[in-house]
Amino acid sequence: MAQNRLRTIQSLINGRLQESQRRVVEEYPLRMRVNGRDLATLVCSPQKLNFLLAGFFRLQGFIESLDDILSMGICDDYGLAEVRLRGDIPTDLRPILTSGCGTGISFNLPVSLLTENKQHYRSYSSAGLLRLTRDLRGLAEKYRDHGGIHSAAIGDEDGLLLYAEDIGRHNTLDRLAGEAMFRQIDLRGKMLVTSGRVSTEMVAKAARLGIGLIASRTSPTDRAIELSEQAGITLIGYLRGRNLEIYSHHEQFTFVDSEERIPGVSGVILAGGESRRMGSDKSLLPIQGARFIDHVYARLSGLFDEVIIVTNSPELYRELPCRKVPDLYYAQGALAGVHSGLVHARTDKIFVAACDMPFIKGEVVRAICAQADQGDLVIPYSQTGHEPLHALYSKSCLPAMERVLDAGQQRIMRFFNQVRLTEIPAEELTSLDPLGESFQNINTPEDYFRLRSARSSHIDSGECQQQR
């Protein structure tokens, strides 16, 4: 998050002067010395400068990967970045100071890039864009607090992947590009949502990253529209609430009346567990450009008004805009996690998902929740047996759960015979999820690599079929 300072100011309110405190944005000049020569000075916000620099070099075409950065040292006291790059920096660079907050800098971004990197046809939906916008709004608290800070996010139909904020709108995109490089996230075909105006250099940078859709709360410039047309980018302006205006490649954008969220149910993600067999926290493992828990949150946030993460380490998920609650029965397994989710939920029922099940299907979740009035616990039965970490629980289960937990028992199925149980046979869900991806999870490194390999093969196969 961007840094800000508390200042004492004089406010004129109703004709009277009074002293008050206000947080103001910190403006930080960062001088770049690259390969022994002064290159430029970025005016930016002072956090995560490694992402900003890497993204700046990437979007100026100075580097292709992190391997091209031989060394990078940043002196906060003097505002100096000393960088060694593998390649030579051209001697005839002519910096262009671009329009907008933070005075963005561009070095001869070639127009030819727009045709070289022209996107293949892609499809985007209003539901996916509005979901990404909602996620960005939830994170941009500081922008609402004191103004002067621009925010931007990159994501896909499932939700947000990357988020950045800075005093300069151009800097936010550089930060996103740099973080994507560090996290090895492929941005081709993704959506970019920004709080600032979209100008030509923003489109050129997005084209270099392969982004297929740009959306802003404000207007694009005329040249930005022209360049978006050339680059095959869908450009959207005045995105406010459910209203928007499309300026280029409207054929790639589909208006979808997204299904209503499931009423009376909260989504609960279990992020606890010791992951003994895995050897590391399963929720943080990467797959398809994001962590496991990011995929689970993106899906549940589109289905439920309230999403809760049950965790004893909330700092790991601070960027996810939802409540994080601890176990009330500490270290007593998944049953304690379900119990905590039920106690803290504002609704009478919760749908529980484990953090290591990243391929949840909305249709399957809806089918399970549709039988909410059939029992205290509605649970699917897959080929491997009951799926208690992909099930619907009512608060009426709490007394039975607490009796089991008080007895020191941790097995989640121990209380099943004390409540009204409704089972959903596997064959009822097969038509909604033929591959059974909803219930895929991991417990060992071997499981993880098998899952990654299977998903890669599935995606490659799908792309080949589309090309045919």
User: Distance (Å, rounded) from C-alpha 202 to C-alpha 240?
Assistant: 20
How much is the pLDDT for 116? 54
Identify the top-confidence range among 126-130, 203-207, 338-342. 338-342
User: Measured between alpha carbons, how far is 311 from 296 in angstroms, rounded to an integer?
Assistant: 14
Question: Which stretch, 217-226, 231-240, 323-332, has highest mean pLDDT?
Answer: 323-332
Fold of 265-449: Spore Coat Polysaccharide Biosynthesis Protein SpsA; Chain A (3.90.550)
Q: What residues does CATH 3.40.140.10 cover in the chain?
A: 124-254
* pLDDT at residue 121 greater than cutoff 80: no
Where are the CATH 3.10.20.10 domain residues in the chain? Answer: 28-105
Q: Which of 247, 209, 196 is nearest to 226 (CA)?
A: 247
Specify the CATH number for 28-105; select among 3.30.420.40, 3.10.20.10, 3.40.50.720, 3.30.1330.10: 3.10.20.10
Q: Is the pLDDT of residue 467 over 70?
A: no
> What is the spatial distance between Cα 202 and Cα 224, in angstroms, rounded to a whole number?
8
> How many angstroms separate the CA atoms of 412 and 416, rounded?
8
**DSSP conformation letters of 93-123:** --EEEPSSTT--EEE---THHHHHTPPPP--
What are the start and end residues of each CATH 3.90.550.10 domain in the chain?
265-449
User: Which is catalytic among the residues 44, 101, 322, 369?
Assistant: 101
Average pLDDT (12-22) is 60
Which secondary-structure segment (H or E) carries 116? helix 112-116
Locate 31 and state its tokens.
């001088």
Quote the mean pLDDT of the chain. Answer: 80
The stretch 125-148 carries a mean pLDDT of 72
Architecture field, domain 124-254: 3-Layer(aba) Sandwich (3.40)
- Summarised one tens digit per residue, pLDDT across range 425-437 is 988 888 888 877 7
Q: Which two tokens stand for residue 179?
A: 């973080």
| 373 pLDDT above the threshold of 60 | yes
101 is catalytic: yes
**Does the predicted TM-score (pTM) go above 0.85?**
no
CA distance readout (Å), 287 to 294, 360, 391, 449, 453: 10, 14, 23, 10, 10
CB 256 within 8 A of CB 125: yes
